[in-house]
Amino acid sequence: MILTGGLKCLLPHVLRRIIRCNRLSISNTSGMAEGYKQANVVILHESLADDFEKFCHANNGPLPLLYRSKPGDWKCPTLSSDSDIRTDCLQYKIYEHGACTGSLKSLKEYSEQLKDMVTFYLGCSFSFEKAVQNAGIPIRNVEQKCNVSMYKTAVPCYSVSTFRCNLVVTMRPIPESKLEAAVLATSESKEAHGAPIHMGDPGLLGIQDLSKPDYGDPVHLHPGDIPVFWACGVTGVEAVINCRAPLAFTHSPGCMFITDLKNDNVTVRSSREVPQVRCISQDPLHYSIVSAEAAQKIKTLETLIGIDPGDRGIIHLHRQDELLKACLSISHARSVLITTGFPTHFAYEPPEENDGPPGALAIAAILQALEKEVAIVTDQRAMNLNKKVIEEAVQLGILKRPVPLLSYQRESADSALMFLCENGNPGRPRFDHLIAIERAGMAADGNYYNARKVNIKHLVDPIDELFLAAQTIPGVTTTGVGDGGNELGMGKVKDAVKKHIKDGDVIACDVEADFTIVAGVSNWGGYAIACALYILSTCEIHDRYLRKAVGFPPLEKKVIWLSALPSVTKEEKLLKTLAQHGVRSGKTASLQMEVDGLPFYNTHSLVIEKLL
């Protein structure tokens, strides 16, 4: 028998010859023939071949098709010069009517049946291992001399005819400081599954226990390692099982076919193709990916809304990249709860100001277009007003349909938990993300203050409690949008508010959000969130990560997303509607075309145009 030492340096045709002679004492091909592409193998009856090829194209993350043979053809001339698929994998699996009925070292005894069968060669993540090592990143399973870990997930693939299954992934522990390098090293290796599809808590993929892989071996994480998951060609094995073909063959997971093709040393050329990694949650741990180009566009939005037209000192409240991180988190969310409403005009009826609702509806509109669930929670006394505004926003074409309107009252110690989660169970949250925009926030003394230091607690329902409860619910993140420091969520910057904002020591909101977006006018923050979500949705790198590299890019929906964005015309109509309902400018209590004392025309309208 030939031992493993030096196998990584052997040429592919030599390795195939050794494998053919059954002279290797190894259990997988990870780390072998460094720099050359390896392939997963699926062999099906020719009657199933066309549908399986469509299935591969529909899920090209896990199933990048390198070559499809003709029926009965045991060679693959574009991948190797002298191969025989019947003998050139370390080990094969045989499937009959969806059940694995054995492992084989050779398929020669099935030569007659193979005459009517087609072989699919699919890209493998072993192919990018050398590139990862060249980036200074350890390959833990190679270090530990074992197969890579492979797991079934809860992520459904795009189905084609009888081929339907959930995604299978490989997991490689990557030091946290090397995450972005790992993404860069693999993102251009599209024939080897490309960039990761998930980084962080395995539970978000439906994987319960990393120590119990469905295929391969458990790989141990070192302190500081993050579990990183790539789409895996063993997805094809699951598809074979579920289609219940009378007879099918695959490679044994980890025992790949080694090709003569060298891995391309691709240099990423444009910022559209350069991925960046951001942490969007600590509990559960979750990272996201975005292109450098999209990140820069969102940073520009953040700069645009960060001007301080009232010269109130808000520049001292800014936290860099909060808009990007907040919108990445919202992008991953399934269901979003929005709250707004600042009853600063306590002497008027209604007491609401017109900063907040337009930004909230701009966010709701893009979330509807992105097919996310969205609801608005507001004060019980303002329900009728908000209902009318939402109905008119639908008539004006701002919203696609009415947004469910909710109210929250504290009735018991667990009211907030019962509101946010099904039956109060933190494992079943109704919402993944909470957004507060220009919402009166509770100060350290338990009161609510407007900018003039007037206590308006009697007009405010305790919606802050939802944000405090969210801090205790894994998987629920929060964003606060404000322009003065007394808004819900601004507790994250309360020290700066107390130091730099007039009366900040009294009015500063004490309740934190995970992400704090500070804008010259809060509505601008809402518009920026809508625009940033559009940028992320049209970013190919981020879209692929969201889809987990299965299915197709939703390019046909781009027009719908674009039409959902705020515009000068929409916001002008909405501001007139609010004035008709008696909703006033925050600073002046005027019912004219202004917000926070700033004229709509040539101030707010210009900001909207710049954001777009």
Q: What is the pLDDT of residues 174-192, one digit of tens each?
A: 999 999 999 999 998 888 8
Per-residue confidence (pLDDT) for residue 23, from 0 to 100: 61
pLDDT value for 564: 95
Which residues of the chain have a pLDDT value below 50? 1-4
pLDDT in tens, 106-121: 999 999 999 999 999 9
Residue with tokens 């099904």: 422
Q: CA nearest 501: which of 241, 250, 324, 312?
A: 312
Indicate the DSSP class of residue 351. -
Q: Enumerate residues 6+ apart whose C-beta is below 8 A from 373.
A: 334, 335, 336
Q: pLDDT value at position 1? A: 37
What is the pTM assigned to this prediction?
A: 0.93
- Judge contact between 169 and 151, C-beta under 8 A: yes
- The helix/strand/coil state of 156 is strand
Q: What is the dihedral of CA 153, 158, 161, 162, to 10 degrees?
A: -10
Q: Given the DSSP bridges, would you call strands 405-407 and 373-378 parallel, antiparallel or unpaired?
A: parallel
Q: How many CB atoms lie within 10 A of CB 3?
A: 9
Q: Are strands 335-341 and 433-439 parallel, antiparallel or unpaired?
A: parallel
Backbone dihedral angles phi then psi of residue 562, each to the nearest 5 degrees: -60, -40
Rounded Cα distance, 55 and 186, in Å: 23
State the Cα–Cα distance between residues 401 and 369, nearest whole angstrom: 10
Cα(352)–Cα(509) distance, integer angstroms: 18
DSSP 499-518: HHSTTHHHH-B--B-SEEEE
